[in-house]
Every structure is written in C-alpha cells, then in structure tokens.
Amino acid sequence: MADPTNESTTLEVKNPVLERMRADQAALGLLVRLGRSGEIARIAKASGHDFLFMDVQHAIFDVETIAHIASTAVAIGVAPLVRVRGVHDPDVSLLLDNGVTGIVFPDVNTAADARKAVDTCRFAPLGKRSVGASFPQFEGRTVPVAEATRIINASTVVVCMIETVEGLANLDEIAA
C-alpha cells in the first residue's frame, strides 16, 4: 500500500479485466447470484478468477451487499462487475460510487443506449457521471478531484450487451 503522506506516489486503480484485455488475454469471471458476503470475492481470488459478475438483472441484491462484496473484491485484486437492469437503472452511479469497477448493461439496442451507458459511468469530459465525496478505490486517501476522476474513468469497465435483432442491426452504430 502506498504511503498516504507521500504526495509523489503515483496512484492507480488496478482492474484485472482491463489488464487482461490490454494483454489480449481472456479474463475469468465468477457469476454471483447467491453469495451475500465479501467471502465470495475471496473464493473467486483463491480459484483464479479475475472478476465477479453480480447479476442484478436476474437476481435480488441490495446495494449495501454489493458494496460490501465490491470493497473486499477491490482490496484483494478482483474486479467487481454488476449487470444492472438496463441503461436507465437509477442505481448505476451509486454502485460505481461504492466500489464497483464495471457495469454490464443488458439489452443495448441503439447508439443512444450505448451513449447513455457511457455517460452514466464516465466522469466529464468522457461522460456525465456526478462526482461523490470520496472513492473507496483510494482507501480513504485524499485525491484531487481531477486526478481521481481521470483514474476512475481509466479503470472502469463499461459493457454493452447486444441481445436483440434490433441491437444486431445497429451494431456498427453502437460500436462507433
């Protein structure tokens, strides 16, 4: 852990999913539908998984449970990803503000849907996400807002799932 009094320390938030993607490697994930504690993150780490995939679209999770799991996952080097209920899910920012490092959006059918997904997950100038008071990824350290938002933008995964004929027809526009 970096020395919080050493201002010259370079801060970063590691996301094993992005690290694997950048190395042209597959990332291994564990689907979580029943786990309700941070221990599921420890199990994922011990069994070689890079990320947890918490499915809020098809399973019942409360935000506090997700935050506890995400906190443990980030601390041990496992990326916590959450599939939300759609691009208009009101909890996306709250999940990200509490340690989730990736959001999976189902049923993305248009370029406007994809833009909404990105806008919700990214801080300006890349999106429209609002800035909260602190970020759990920095473990209580004070980080200037401009630096924090840059680091969080660079370490957050945004996934758009194409699941319909309409989405397939709009694939090029969605990917643009």
pLDDT, position 24:
98
Q: Which sequence spans correspond to the domains of the chain?
A: 16-175
Q: How far is CA 14 from the centre of its chain?
A: 11
Q: Is the pLDDT of residue 1 over 50?
A: no
pLDDT category of residue 8 using cuts at 50, 70 and 90: very low
pLDDT, position 135:
87
Candidate CATH numbers 3.20.20.60, 3.40.50.300, 3.40.109.10, 3.40.50.1260; the one for domain 16-175:
3.20.20.60
d(CA 32, CA 20): 21
pLDDT, position 9:
56
pLDDT category of residue 149 using cuts at 50, 70 and 90: very high
pLDDT, position 53:
98
pLDDT tens sequence across 9-45: 568 889 999 999 999 999 999 999 988 999 999 999 9
- Contact between residue 17 and residue 51 where contact means Cβ atoms under 8 Å apart: yes
pLDDT, position 130:
95
Cite the active site residues. 58
Q: Is the pLDDT of residue 3 over 60?
A: no
Q: Is the pLDDT of residue 2 over 80?
A: no
Q: How many CB atoms lie within 10 A of CB 109?
A: 19
pLDDT, position 140:
82
pLDDT tens sequence across 75-133: 999 999 999 999 999 999 999 999 999 999 999 999 999 999 999 999 999 999 999 87
